[in-house]
């Protein structure tokens, strides 16, 4: 495998806690060992608080296997599975494996586990247990919510979303446009906020749904969902929110927000991948998209993924229980990270200021260099982050979220998202600040751009963006 021709493959391996570098003598790519790739040997973590002691902190993974100690700052992409969630899941892989639809004793036992997980999650969001269906993730939940609403309300042909939605919502909207629907994409201000007045001016009697993301996955902007839902209901439109990033990182109650549908994801809050949920209020009834048996209240056919659902339920329970402690732990780390990165010349924060944004999220543009180059160099130094380009689509298309808040393509390409979790430490933040400065200096020393010639066009006068 060649580093230059297969960079994304290397980075993907980095996300799995395997770090690769080029051996200078042969040009071959080999795996690092603990203490290599720019990170000093031994643990880099500070004292672990009592509510966090279940998590391994140094050179071994959850299964006790030795590995390179990584600094993982990509928690808006996915989070490490909480050990307590894993422990809850294990019996349902081996001993309690029956189909929850079966009538024998083992089936009844797994059905009981399914009901218990549903009760935990629905209780956490202030819903009735029969208002929560399990899905494979938030992408499927978004599809069921929007397509299902369109089918349930065929006389209405207007959908309203924002320009900072997740791809699963943006692409559903495009498909509906292909089918003859009108789609309005509400613009946002320089920090990513939707103006409720624009929604009131846009909504009409033909609007079947308004779908606005609660907490954005890239820039951490948190929308006024309660106000937006109130406006939607004035025209009897259903209101859906993609809450994949919100649940577990901030208080979330469907009754207080007034939403009709809300999507969730297990692996965004230290639960397993491949499981999510959709809150469907009693006031609404979207049409099912697939045919099959009547699982999940006849909205989502197919045998439920019991181990993942059990882990999801436990992860939500832990996240809600520990939210005050996690918030008190992560907020100072966010602030320190933003302050440290602000000292790097020609950089600016994308989205709201730290005190207003999603817990753990810091998104910064470093002008005159490519975000993917920064990502690669940080990866080689044992640090996992995300860039502002759609590298997963094998293109250099800049992030639609970053361009929606007014960034030029060059600025969007230079963006890096840092996202922290309960399992990060102050020592890690200091290491990241140092290594980012080192990498930015290195890359700028090799660039043809001259900042003085571009500052008027691209350079931000302040680290923080204006609304």
> CATH no. for residue 130?
3.40.640.10
DSSP-assigned letters across all residues of 45-105: --PPPGGGTTS--SSB-TTS-B----EE-BTTT--PPPHHHHHHHTHHHHTS---TT--SH
CB contact at 8 A, 165 and 215: no
Q: Which pLDDT score is estimated for 21?
A: 31
Question: Helices (H), strands (E): how many in the chain?
Answer: 16, 15
The answer to whether residue 210 is domain-embedded is yes
426: left (phi over 0), alpha (psi -120 to 50) or beta: alpha
For the record, the structure tokens of 31 come out as: 């795996």
Whether 302 and 332 map to the same domain: the answer is no
Lowest-confidence pick of 63-77, 226-240, 317-331: 63-77
Alpha-carbon separation of residue 451 from 42, 43, 184, 368, 456 (angstroms): 39, 38, 38, 7, 9
The pLDDT confidence band at residue 449, using thresholds 50, 70 and 90, is low
pLDDT of residue 57: 46
Which residues have a Cβ under 8 Å from the Cβ of 100 and sit 6 or more positions away? 107, 110, 111, 113, 114, 303, 304, 306
More confident residue, 41 or 115: 115
User: Does 44 share its domain with 58?
Assistant: yes
Residue 215 domain-assigned (yes or no): yes
Residue 43: the pLDDT is 34
Q: Are residues 97 and 149 in the same domain?
A: yes
Are 312 and 328 found together in one domain?
A: no
pLDDT for residue 230:
99
Do 313 and 377 reside in the same domain of the chain? Answer: no
Residue where a domain terminates, one of 294, 318, 342: 318
The rounded mean pLDDT for the chain is: 86
**One domain for residues 312 and 342:** no
Classify residue 18 by burial, with Cβ atoms within 10 Å: 0-12, 13-18, 19+: middle
- DSSP 8-state secondary structure symbol assigned to residue 300: S
**304: helix, coil or strand?**
coil
Backbone CA torsion sign across 450, 414, 422, 379: negative
339 and 403 belong to one structural domain: yes
In tens, the pLDDT along 384-414 reads 999 976 544 445 688 999 999 999 999 999 9
Q: 230-244, 246-260, 392-406 — which is least confidently predicted? A: 392-406
2 occurs within a structural domain: no
Rounded Cα distance, 247 and 261, in Å: 14
- Residue ranges of alpha helices (H) inside 211-305 are 225-234, 254-257, 295-298
Average pLDDT of span 416-443:
97
Asked if the structure places residue 460 within a domain, the reply is no
Q: Mark which of 287, 303, 318 sits at the end of a domain.
A: 318
Q: Is residue 55 part of a domain?
A: yes
In this prediction, residue 369 carries a pLDDT of 93
Kindly state the percentage of the chain with pLDDT values over 70: 80
Q: Say whether both 358 and 298 belong to one domain.
A: no
What size, in residues, is the chain? Answer: 467
Residue 48 belongs to some domain of the structure: yes
Residue 465 has pLDDT above 80, yes or no: no
Q: How many CB atoms lie within 10 A of CB 83?
A: 15
Average pLDDT over residues 429-449: 93
Q: Tell me how far apart the alpha carbons of residues 83 and 80 are, in angstroms, rounded to a whole number.
A: 9
Answer yes or no: do 236 and 166 share one domain: yes
pLDDT confidence of residue 132:
98
Active site (annotated) includes residue 10: no
pLDDT of residue 397: 83
330 shares a domain with 262: no
Q: How many domains does the chain have?
A: 2
Comparing C-alpha atoms, which of 261, 262, 268 is closest to residue 245? 268
Averaged pLDDT for residues 101-109? 94
The answer to whether residues 383 and 418 belong to one domain is: yes
Q: Residue 124 has which token pair?
A: 């956490």
What tens digit of pLDDT does each residue of 346-357 get?
Answer: 999 999 999 999
Q: Cα separation of 278 and 272, whole Å? A: 16
Highest mean pLDDT, choosing among 44-48, 296-300, 304-308: 304-308
- Per residue in 34-76, pLDDT (tens digit) is 333 333 333 333 444 555 654 444 443 333 444 458 999 999 9
pLDDT for residue 413: 93
d(C-alpha 322, C-alpha 266), whole Å: 16
Instruction: Indicate the DSSP class of residue 397.
Output: P
State mean pLDDT over 177-191. Answer: 98
Domain-embedded: residue 463 = no
Residue 37, pLDDT score: 36
Contact 150, 209 (CB under 8 A): yes
Find the domain containing 430 and state its range. Answer: 7-80+324-454
| Separation CA 79–CA 69 (nearest Å) | 16
Among the options 51, 391, 426, 463, which is catalytic?
A: 391
For residues 113 and 223, membership in a common domain is answered with yes
292 pLDDT band, cuts 50/70/90, is confident
Report pLDDT for 18.
34
| Structure tokens belonging to residue 74 | 């990509």
DSSP strand pairing (132-135 vs 182-186): unpaired
Counting residues of the chain whose pLDDT is more than 90, the rounded percentage is 75
Q: Inform me whether the pLDDT recorded for 23 exceeds 60.
A: no
Q: Give dist(CA 220, CA 454) in Å, integer.
A: 28
pTM of the model: 0.83
CATH, residue 426: 3.90.1150.10
Do residues 63 and 57 make contact, with C-beta atoms less than 8 angstroms apart? Answer: no
- Sole residue written with tokens 């994409």: 185
Please check whether residue 440 lies inside any domain of the structure.
yes
Residue after which a domain boundary falls, among 290, 318, 346? 318
């Amino acid at each position: 495998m060649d580093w230059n021709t297969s960079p994304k493959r290397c980075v993907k391996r980095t996300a799995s806690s395997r770090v690769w570098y080029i051996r200078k003598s042969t040009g071959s790519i080999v795996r690092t060992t603990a203490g290599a790739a720019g990170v000093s040997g031994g643990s880099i973590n500070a004292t672990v608080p009592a509510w966090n002691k279940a998590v391994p902190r140094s050179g071994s993974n959850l299964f006790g296997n030795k590995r390179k100690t990584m600094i993982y700052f990509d928690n808006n992409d996915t989070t490490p599975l909480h050990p307590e969630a894993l422990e809850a899941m294990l019996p349902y892989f081996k001993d309690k494996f029956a189909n929850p639809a079966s009538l024998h004793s083992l089936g009844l036992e797994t059905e009981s586990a399914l009901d218990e997980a549903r009760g935990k999650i629905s209780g956490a969001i202030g819903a009735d247990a029969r208002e929560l269906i399990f899905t494979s993730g938030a992408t499927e939940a978004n599809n069921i919510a929007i397509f299902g609403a369109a089918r349930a309300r065929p006389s209405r042909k207007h959908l309203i979303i924002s320009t900072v939605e997740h791809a699963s919502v943006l692409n559903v909207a495009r498909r509906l446009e292909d089918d003859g629907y009108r789609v309005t994409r509400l613009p946002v201000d320089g920090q990513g906020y939707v103006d409720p007045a624009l929604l009131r001016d846009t909504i009409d009697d033909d609007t079947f749904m308004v779908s606005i993301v609660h907490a954005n996955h890239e820039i951490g902007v948190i929308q006024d969902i309660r106000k937006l839902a109130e406006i939607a209901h004035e025209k009897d439109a259903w209101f859906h929110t993609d809450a994949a990033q919100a649940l577990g990182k901030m208080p979330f109650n469907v009754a207080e927000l007034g939403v009709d549908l809300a999507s969730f994801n297990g692996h965004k809050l230290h639960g397993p991948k491949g499981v999510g949920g959709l809150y469907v209020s009693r006031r609404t009834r979207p049409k099912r998209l697939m045919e099959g048996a009547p699982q999940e209240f006849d909205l989502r056919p197919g045998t439920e993924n019991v181990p993942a659902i059990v882990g999801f339920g436990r992860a939500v329970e832990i996240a809600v229980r520990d939210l005050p402690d996690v918030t008190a732990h992560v907020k100072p780390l966010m602030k320190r990270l933003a302050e440290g990165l602000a000292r790097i010349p020609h950089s600016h924060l994308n989205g709201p200021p730290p005190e207003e944004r999603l817990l753990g999220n810091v998104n910064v543009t470093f002008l005159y260099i490519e975000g993917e180059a920064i990502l690669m160099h940080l990866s080689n130094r044992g640090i996992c982050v995300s860039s502002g380009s759609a590298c997963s689509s094998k293109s250099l298309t800049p992030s639609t979220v970053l361009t929606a808040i007014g960034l030029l393509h060059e600025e969007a390409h230079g963006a890096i998202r840092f996202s922290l979790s309960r399992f990060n430490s102050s020592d890690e933040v200091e290491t990241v600040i140092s290594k980012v400065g080192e990498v930015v200096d290195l890359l700028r020393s090799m660039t043809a751009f001259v900042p003085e010639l571009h500052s008027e066009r691209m350079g931000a006068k302040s680290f923080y963006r204006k609304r």
